[in-house]
Amino acid sequence: MSTPTTVLFDAPGPKARVRHLIIAIAGLVLLLLLLGLVVRGLANPRNNQLTAEKWTPFLQGSTWLDYLLPGLLSTLKAAGLAIVLSLVLGILLGIGRLSTIRVVSVACGIFVEFFRSVPVLVMMLFAYYFALYVLHLAGNQPFFGVVVGLVFYNASVIAELIRSGVGSLPRGQREAGLAIGLTESQAMWSILLPQAITAMLPSLISQLVVVLKDTALGYIIGYYDLVRGGQTFSTNFGNLIPTMLVMAAMYIVINYTLTRIAHAVERSLQRRGRAGGEPDESLPGELTQPPVVTQL
Amino acid sequence: MGDLAELISRYHVVLAFWMTIKLTVFGGLGALIIGTLIAIFRVSPINVLRWFGAGYVNIIRNTPLTLIVFFFAFGVLNTLSVSLADPNSPNSIAENNFRWGVVALSVYHASFVAEALRSGVNTVPQGQAEAARAIGLSFFPSLTQIILPQAFRGAIAPLGNTLVALTKNTTVVSTIGVAEISYQMKNMIEFSPQLLYAIFLLVAVCFVVLTLPVGALFTYLSRRLAVQR
């Protein structure tokens, strides 16, 4: 937003520039004051969080090798497996919902709507106890719980993405496919689906961010993810707040990178003029906007 | 079925459901207020405020809610002992957890509200702002009287999505011991594992009952209130 595109305000004249400068400085001072308050809170004599011994552990290799990196690795492992499985299930569900066979489309619709309304954590708890009491998975039930909980929810979201992606394609695409003698399902798999997935690629990538963030819920069912690793580590040194700040920074860096990639893909798709149906709308992110906000 | 009814009264499921609703309502209000402020910052002519708004959205949106909840509960409340409840009150711990939980939910979802509103601002045609400028309104009046009312109407669908997500995300607050419905779900399953499916269905139906009407209402509103152009 360095060059605002709104016409909410004129190019500032000399007076307005002075006024903006004053407000900017006032805002900065307020921000610094707030920051100062936080720092004073962190550095209070009873419980100083800014002392060197709370931060130096992050310079030791063992901190990263024994706690944070294994945690990050299992976070990535669960997220990776979950996204692959939910892509497969989501594409199947999305196509199922568009199926011309009524029973299939209704069943897929109910499945998608149900699992979209159930919180990921509730699903994770269920899958965890299911693995514990029914499947008797020794020791692996947290991993099972995290992955299954994530897959059911995100597959439903991806199914909706696929459906709106197919819906955004011009009708002629399917008709042309049928006209050259393809069957409904051939037209779906070789004409509509590839275009829908391309159009929905930015949203699919931002869904990765959601999956990655939601793996942190695994902490609650005892999965050894980044949050759990950081917490275990921080009990040794009594430095919970520094650890949380470091963990947040790790999440932010990864997720922000993914978001940037999603935007870059979106822009390059728009340049190729294949960002779905109506590229003439004034809002560039129109097509991807609802799904991008849906998930969180 | 009798077993399930006994469990429901034993673990105060109705109260827990009520707690979920309370978290949703208060969290939603907080998120709406903070999010609107951040959205105003993001379209303001002052670059410091714009940077602050963008920074807030980028930082908060990319952090897991679990971590934010922990930060307020273990960091701010326990380590820095900033209390939001009367320390002499008999259930000050529960009150504190609830209030900090609401703060965490508000702070997290505010970034999504801000993004929804910004997309709403983008749906308002340039001509509206130009007309407002032409009749002599300055930034703040043109924003609050011309742009934002239309932006809210254009942003109803994403705002509804955020509210639905907020409803579901209230479950995360169970991590810090707020007795909402997923917290009791865990207790119930551990007490009587043989009712696993029934308990899951009960909780799932509670959420379906909460989120489906809200989603439908917002879809209806977004059609009903959309600015005709």
- Please state which of the ranges A94-98, B24-28, B122-126 shows the lowest mean pLDDT: B122-126
Cross-chain Cβ contact A219/B66 below 8 Å: yes
Question: B23 pLDDT band (50/70/90 cuts)?
Answer: very high
Is A59 an 8 Å CB contact of chain B?
A: no
What pLDDT does residue B170 have? Answer: 92
Interface of A with B in 186-225 (CB under 8 A): 209, 213-217, 219-220
Percent of chain A with pLDDT over 70: 88
Cross-chain Cβ contact B207/A117 below 8 Å: yes
Cα separation, A170 vs A176, whole angstroms: 10
Which position has the higher pLDDT, A145 or A288? A145
Is B56 an 8 Å CB contact of chain A?
A: no
Model confidence at A294: pLDDT above 50: no
Residues A120-148 have pLDDT tens digits of 999 999 998 888 888 887 778 888 889 99
Lookup: tokens for A36? 């100062």
Lookup: tokens for B146? 């011309």
Beta carbons within 8 Å of A35's beta carbon, 6+ residues apart: none
Mean pLDDT of B182-205: 87
Model confidence at A200: pLDDT above 80: yes
Q: List Cβ<8 Å contacts ≥24 apart for A227-232.
A: A227/A71, A227/B64, A227/B66, A227/B67, A227/B70, A228/A71, A229/A67, A229/A68, A229/A70, A229/A71, A229/A72, A229/A74, A230/A67, A230/A68, A230/A71, A232/A67
Cα separation, A35 vs A41, whole angstroms: 10
Which position has the higher pLDDT, B161 or A45? B161
Question: B11 pLDDT band (50/70/90 cuts)?
Answer: confident
The answer to whether B151 touches B120, Cβ cutoff 8 Å, is yes
- Within a 10 A sphere around the Cβ of B40, how many other Cβ atoms? 20
Model confidence at B133: pLDDT above 90: no
Cross-chain Cβ contact A7/B129 below 8 Å: yes
Look up residue A76 and give its amino acid: L
- Within a 10 A sphere around the Cβ of A181, how many other Cβ atoms? 8
Mean pLDDT of B88-112: 88
Count Cβ–Cβ pairs < 8 Å, chain A vs chain B. 179
Mean pLDDT of A165-189: 88
Nearest to B142 among A8, A12, A121 (CB): A8
Residues A58-84 have pLDDT tens digits of 777 777 777 788 888 888 888 899 999
- Within a 10 A sphere around the Cβ of A111, how many other Cβ atoms? 18
Is A283 an 8 Å CB contact of chain B?
A: yes
The answer to whether B46 touches A27, Cβ cutoff 8 Å, is yes
CATH architecture, range B18-180: Orthogonal Bundle (1.10)
The alpha carbon of residue A57 is apart from the nearest alpha carbon of chain B, in Å, by 18
Model confidence at A295: pLDDT above 50: no
Lookup: tokens for A181? 């003698």
Mean pLDDT of B38-62: 89
Cα dihedral across residues B52, B53, B58, B64: positive or negative: positive
Apex CA B175: angle with CA B174 and CA B178, to 5°? Answer: 40
Which residues of chain A does B133 touch, with a Cβ-Cβ cutoff of 8 Å? 7-10
The alpha carbon of residue A63 is apart from the nearest alpha carbon of chain B, in Å, by 19
Is A49 an 8 Å CB contact of chain B?
A: yes
Cα dihedral across residues A132, A133, A137, A143: positive or negative: negative
Structural domain contains residue A7: no
Residues A5-29 have pLDDT tens digits of 556 676 777 888 888 888 888 888 9
What pLDDT does residue A293 have? Answer: 37
Model confidence at A183: pLDDT above 80: yes
> What is the rounded end-to-end Cα distance, in angstroms, of chain A?
23
Can you tell me whether residue B33 is helix, strand or coil?
Answer: helix
Cross-chain Cβ contact B196/A295 below 8 Å: no
Residues A202-233 have pLDDT tens digits of 888 888 888 888 898 888 888 888 888 888 88
**Rounded to two decimals, what is the model's pTM?**
0.85
Structural domain boundaries in chain B: 18-180
Cross-chain Cβ contact B48/A27 below 8 Å: yes
Cross-chain Cβ contact B196/A130 below 8 Å: yes
- Kindly give the residue spans of alpha helices, DSSP state H, lying in B124-172: 126-134, 139-141, 148-154, 156-169
Which residue from A149, A155, A86, A158 is spatially nearest to A122, judged by alpha carbons? Answer: A149
Residue of A nearest to B181 (CA): A122
Which position has the higher pLDDT, A149 or B95? A149
For A3, counting Cβ atoms within 10 Å of its Cβ (0-12 exposed, 13-18 middle, 19+ buried), the class is: exposed
Which residues of chain B does A41 touch, with a Cβ-Cβ cutoff of 8 Å? 80, 82
Question: B81 pLDDT band (50/70/90 cuts)?
Answer: confident
Exposure string (b/e) for B46-81, b if CB count within 10 Å is 16 or more? bebbbbbbbebbeebbbbbbbbbbbbbbbbbbbbbe
Q: What are phi and psi of A284, to 5 degrees?
A: -60, -40
The alpha carbon of residue A60 is apart from the nearest alpha carbon of chain B, in Å, by 23
What pLDDT does residue A205 have? Answer: 83
Which residues of chain A does B164 touch, with a Cβ-Cβ cutoff of 8 Å? 117
Site of tokens 């708890």? A125
Look up residue B142 and give its amino acid: S
Cα separation, B33 vs B43, whole angstroms: 16
Look up residue B130 and give its amino acid: E
Structural domain contains residue A14: no
The alpha carbon of residue A62 is apart from the nearest alpha carbon of chain B, in Å, by 23
The alpha carbon of residue B59 is apart from the nearest alpha carbon of chain A, in Å, by 6
Lookup: tokens for B204? 């799932």
Is A279 an 8 Å CB contact of chain B?
A: no
Q: Pick left, alpha or beta for residue A138 (phi over 0 → left; psi -120 to 50 → alpha; otherwise beta).
A: beta
Question: A4 pLDDT band (50/70/90 cuts)?
Answer: very low
Number of domains in chain A: 1
CATH number at residue A187: 1.10.3720.10
Which residue from B178, B191, B21 is spatially nearest to B101, judged by alpha carbons? Answer: B178
What pLDDT does residue A245 have? Answer: 86
For A261, counting Cβ atoms within 10 Å of its Cβ (0-12 exposed, 13-18 middle, 19+ buried), the class is: middle
Cross-chain Cβ contact A248/B71 below 8 Å: yes
Q: Which domain holds residue A159?
A: 58-269
Residues A103-120 have pLDDT tens digits of 999 999 999 989 988 999
Residue of B nearest to A132 (CA): B193
The alpha carbon of residue B111 is apart from the nearest alpha carbon of chain A, in Å, by 11
Mean pLDDT of A34-52: 76
Structural domain contains residue A290: no
The alpha carbon of residue A89 is apart from the nearest alpha carbon of chain B, in Å, by 21
Interface of B with A in 179-198 (CB under 8 A): 182, 185-186, 189, 193, 196
Model confidence at A283: pLDDT above 50: no
Apex CA A184: angle with CA A182 and CA A186, to 5°? Answer: 55
Interface of A with B in 28-47 (CB under 8 A): 28, 31, 41-42, 44, 47
Q: Tell me the average pLDDT of chain B.
A: 87
The answer to whether A149 touches A124, Cβ cutoff 8 Å, is yes
Can you tell me whether residue B163 is helix, strand or coil?
Answer: helix
